[in-house]
Amino acid sequence: MELPVYTRSQLALRNGQDKPEIWVAYLGKIYDVTRSRLWRNGKHYEHWAGQDLSEELAAAPHSQNVFDKFEVIGMLASS
């Protein structure tokens, strides 16, 4: 099954404020973090949903394995 491709503008609308979904992107994949209590209101510490977090993860206290528990719902269109 091929995943849908979303633009950065479409991702930005899933920030926990504009639409009920809360999404983040990492290394080209878009994850649905809506059900995570850590992403309530679209914010997780200093990170905001609706964005590509690929560069920010380097400074995070956890590895990319944190995304394993979330569903990949799409791919981020290359800019």
CATH number of the domain at 45, please.
Answer: 3.10.120.10
Instruction: Write out the residue range of the structural domain in which residue 30 sits.
Output: 5-76
| Distance separating alpha carbons of residues 22 and 40, to the nearest angstrom | 8
How many domains would you assign to the chain?
A: 1
pLDDT tens by residue, 13-65: 999 998 899 999 999 999 999 999 999 889 998 889 999 999 887 777 777 78
CA distances from 44 to 2, 34, 53, 64, 79 (A): 29, 12, 11, 15, 25
Residue 66: per-residue pLDDT: 84
pTM of the model: 0.89
Residue 53 has phi, psi (to 5 degrees) of: -100, 15
Side-chain-side CA neighbours of 60 within 13 Å: the count stands at 17
